[in-house]
Amino acid sequence: MKILHDGQDSVPGGVATAVSVGAYDGIHLGHRKVLSTLSDLAADRDLAPAVVTFDQHPAAVVRPESAPLLLTDPGQRMELFADIGIEFLYLLHFDEQRAQTSSRDFVADVLVSRLNAKLIVVGSNFHFGQGRSGSVDVLTELGNEMGFEVVGLDLFTEGDAVEPTSSTAIRRALAAGDIDAVNAMLGRPYEVRGEVVQGDQRGRTIGFPTANIVFEDGRAWPATGVYAARVTLPDGRRNDAVVNIGMRPTFHQHAEHPLLEAHLLDFDEDLYDQHISVEFVGFVRSERRFAGIDEIAAQIKKDVESAREQLAADSTAEPKGA
């Protein structure tokens, strides 16, 4: 996948593209419907599939006080786009000036001049340009004038869900700890990444050492509680784990920030200062306060067995060490 930088790069001469535009936070099943349609139509028309997305969520600029927590970091989004088969990713620099760009100027500069777009595929609720004044209808009018086709797709609803799949719905389910709903809408386990930091060693003293990750500002994390998970190590190995997210009320009654503590099952290696990824497979229990070390150790043993059962039954499992 070739990354094109806003205002600097264009597709090579002679290349025509099919383009989708959006924040694409999460790249959930609704997004994948748009992108798979984009890829299919691009292949039919001998066009290169391309995506225009943003270097930061537009809401962080136009309404920072209510900007959403992000479901994916930039690296995850890049990997997911590449896995889907996108050939060109135009990374739009979104700032106050870009927010004031008219619909027409955006289409003429980015979609037509930079990307030589001959087809645009977006969701039916797509809006763009200054004050979100552009719509699928506006885009279609501009396409008739500037020489590209527009396809607007109905919103995707997963199974018997009562509302369309969206990043907003995923954030709401994540905040409620409904990891099953989150993963169903994503079409994959929810994942967070981070560097393993030094903890207070309390887990090791009770026989359950953990790899700890501090919450990253601006990222959406599951609700506090205990989860069955899989951890991907720096060398690519995947290891089953039981993960606690919380304020650790038994020992840290006045903690200010949640912490992710991953106890890797049947594992005994040093991971300090290394980057790992954690995929959440299932919910085990809510966080609660315990009377002391003996009670919490007994509960962790139960959590480990519950996590093992969920992970053994998980259809997305890969062989250990894969």
Q: Give CA torsion, residues 228, 316, 80, 143, to 10 deg.
A: -120
Helix/strand/coil for 290: coil
Note the pLDDT of residue 322: 40
pLDDT in 10s for each residue of the chain, 322 residues:
999 999 999 999 999 999 999 999 999 999 999 999 999 999 999 999 999 999 999 999 999 999 999 999 989 999 999 999 999 999 999 999 999 999 999 999 999 999 999 999 999 999 999 999 999 999 999 999 999 999 999 988 877 777 889 999 999 999 999 999 999 999 999 999 999 998 665 555 567 899 999 888 899 999 999 999 999 999 999 999 999 998 754 444 434 567 999 999 999 999 999 999 999 999 999 988 776 788 888 999 999 999 999 999 986 665 444 4
Query: Please, are residues 289 and 250 in contact by the beta-carbon 8 Å criterion?
Result: yes
Cβ neighbour number for residue 192 with a 10 Å cutoff: 24
Find, among 236, 286, 233, 242, the residue nearest to 264 by Cα: 242
CA–CA separation, 248 and 262 (whole Å): 13
Helix/strand/coil for 233: coil
Cβ neighbour number for residue 149 with a 10 Å cutoff: 15
CA–CA separation, 307 and 312 (whole Å): 8
Note the pLDDT of residue 215: 84
Find, among 250, 202, 247, 203, the residue nearest to 223 by Cα: 247
Structure pTM? 0.90
Query: Please, are residues 49 and 85 in contact by the beta-carbon 8 Å criterion?
Result: yes
Find, among 28, 22, 29, the residue nearest to 125 by Cα: 22
Note the pLDDT of residue 159: 77
Note the pLDDT of residue 315: 63
Q: What are phi and psi of 148, to 5 degrees?
A: -140, 155
Note the pLDDT of residue 289: 79
Q: Residue 306: what residue type?
A: S
CA–CA separation, 63 and 60 (whole Å): 6
Q: List, in order of start, the domains of the chain with CATH numbers.
A: 2-153 (3.40.50.620), 190-313 (2.40.30.30)
CA–CA separation, 167 and 165 (whole Å): 7
Helix/strand/coil for 136: helix
